[in-house]
Structure 1
Amino acid sequence: MRAGPTIYFIRHGETDWNAQSRYQGQADIPMNETGRAQARRNGEALRGLLPGIAQCRYVASPLLRARETMEIVRGVMGLDPGAYSIDERLKELHYGHWQGIFAADLPDVDAAGIAARSQDTFRWRPTGGESYEDLMARAVGWLADVADDTVVAGHGGISRVLRGHLYGVDPSAVPELEVPQDKVLILRRDGLEWL
């Protein structure tokens, strides 16, 4: 017997801020052309699971890059691009005062924050933002409402904390989990795979 619903998790495609190593968080940045190609690739991967996957629920973060990813994926699959729901709980980690900052500039902008984060990346919270611990609580709340197989277009942080929760990953390792933009992560309570 299967242990709960399957989640097909798609991280949004690349944005210019991703490419520039700039902290994005909940800033509403669109995908670039590389990101759109990644979304098409993920739609093609899921198209191979038709017709069954068409019966899944489809839900996205409200941020533009996730919504655009979902619409491209559904279009490539031959499904109505706009026939999905939005859930605020799937938004990316809020980086607070780090949002918009280039990673290379952080030592000049917030050396104390970098030092504090290095002591406990999972629980550290930027001014005006969230910790990974906060994000996990939000994501687990969403997960508790998932009763059916679901395709999600979301963010790297959400992918990390869902895996941390489902598979008992040590909290210190959660922020370091791989989050590719050109693969679909298939999450089941009894294991995961990449598509």
Structure 2
Amino acid sequence: MIVEDVYFCRHGQTDYNAEERLQGRREVPLNDLGRAQARRNGTYLRNLLGANVGDYRYIASPLGRAQETMRIIRRELGLEIDGFETDDRLVEVGYGDWEGSTLEEIGESDPEAIAERDADKWDYRCPGENAESYSELLTRIEPLLAELTPRTILVSHGGVSRAVLRKYAGISGQDAAMTIVPQDRILTFDRDGPRWL
């Protein structure tokens, strides 16, 4: 079971998210809604954790949208905005040649690839360099998850949240891969399983 008192935040919305474009490792900044979502999560954590916010470890994906989200959260917590770590293992799943496209666009040019992905989304690897499957993503982040201690707040990506759910929520890979990961909620675990705050 995952260590309790660990909070996973997805970065706030970007224009790619709004347009349903696969962004993967691309650098796409938060939009206005994304910044509001990050503020909401920061306010929620401030109300939940109170005076203890300074006792937490803060770790973000190195991608800009995750770092911007973390800075907004820390501002809401009354902390110095750059006082966090980054960890390359928290980077988003790679979508290879599909990055920047919508699934509808890909389906028009390569419907067989979309059908193959839909049949096994957990293990499917998109074509192109730097692509990886969700199962490969889980293998990448497992060492980091093993290092986590109580009082940790992470800001990462939808793919990372799906991998965490697969590992700790007892759901199938396909179910994890299909899970909608909100950008204005926080994922945590306790003895009863996953909770969205």
TM-score, with normalisation over the residues of structure 1? 0.94
Q: Percent identity?
A: 41
Q: 1:150: which partner in 2?
A: 152
1:96 counterpart residue number:
96
Q: Supply the AA of the counterpart residue of 2:34.
A: G
Tell me the alpha carbon deviations over residues 117-154 of structure 1, each in whole angstroms, 9 at most, x when there is no partner.
12211111011300010011112121011123210111
Equivalent position of 1:163 in the other structure: 165
Q: What's the CA shift for 1:110?
A: 2.4
Residues 1:191 and 2:190 are matched in the alignment: no
SS of residue in 2 equivalent to 1:66: helix
1:40-97 Cα deviation digits (max 9, x unpaired): 0111001112212321110000000000000000001101110000000001110011
The change in CA–CA distance for 1:107 and 1:3 in structure 2 (over 3 A counts) is closer
Give 1:25's aligned residue.
24
Q: 1 CA distance for matches of 2:110 and 2:152?
A: 39
Quick one: distance in 1 between partners of 2:28 and 2:110?
A: 23
Aligned equivalents of 1:37, 1:44: Cα separation in 2 = 10
Instruction: Give me the whole-angstrom Cα distance separating, in 1, the residues matched to 2:158 and 2:191.
Output: 19
Distance 1:147 1:98 in 2: 35
After superposition, the Cα gap between the structure-2 partners of 1:85 and 1:3, relative to the gap in structure 1 and judged at 3 Å, is closer
Q: Distance in 2 between matches of 1:46 and 1:149?
A: 12
- After TM superposition, the structure 1 stretch with the greater mean CA deviation from structure 2, 165-174 or 183-192, is 183-192
Q: CA deviation at 1:166?
A: 0.9
CA contact (8 A) 1:135 1:158 kept: yes
CA distance in structure 2 between the partners assigned to 1:167 and 1:44 by the alignment: 26
Aligned residue number for residue 177 of structure 2: 175
Identify unmatched segments of 5+ residues in structure 2: none
Identify the residue that residue 78 of structure 2 maps to in structure 1.
Answer: 78
**In 2, Cα distance between equivalents of 1:4 and 1:17:** 33
Q: How many residues align?
A: 194
Aligned partners of 2:86, 2:40: CA distance in 1, in Å? 22
Query: Residue 40 of structure 2 corresponds to which residue in structure 1?
Result: 41
The CA deviation at 1:104 is: 2.1
Query: Given the superposition, is the C-alpha separation of residues 58 and 12 from structure 1 closer, same or farther in structure 2, using an over 3 Å criterion?
Result: same
CA drift of 1:159 comes to 0.6
> Is contact 1:3-1:190 (8 Å) kept?
no
The residue that corresponds to 1:140 in the other structure is 142
Q: CA 1:191–1:53 in structure 2 vs 1: closer, same or farther (change >3 Å)?
A: farther
* SS at 1:36 equivalent: helix
Q: 90-99 vs 133-142, which deviates more?
A: 133-142
Q: Distance in 1 between the 2:159 and 2:24 partners?
A: 9
Using the TM superposition, give the Cα deviation of residue 3 of structure 1 relative to its aligned residue in structure 2, in angstroms. 6.7
One-letter identity of the residue aligned with 2:171: V
Deviation of residue 186 (structure 1)? 1.6
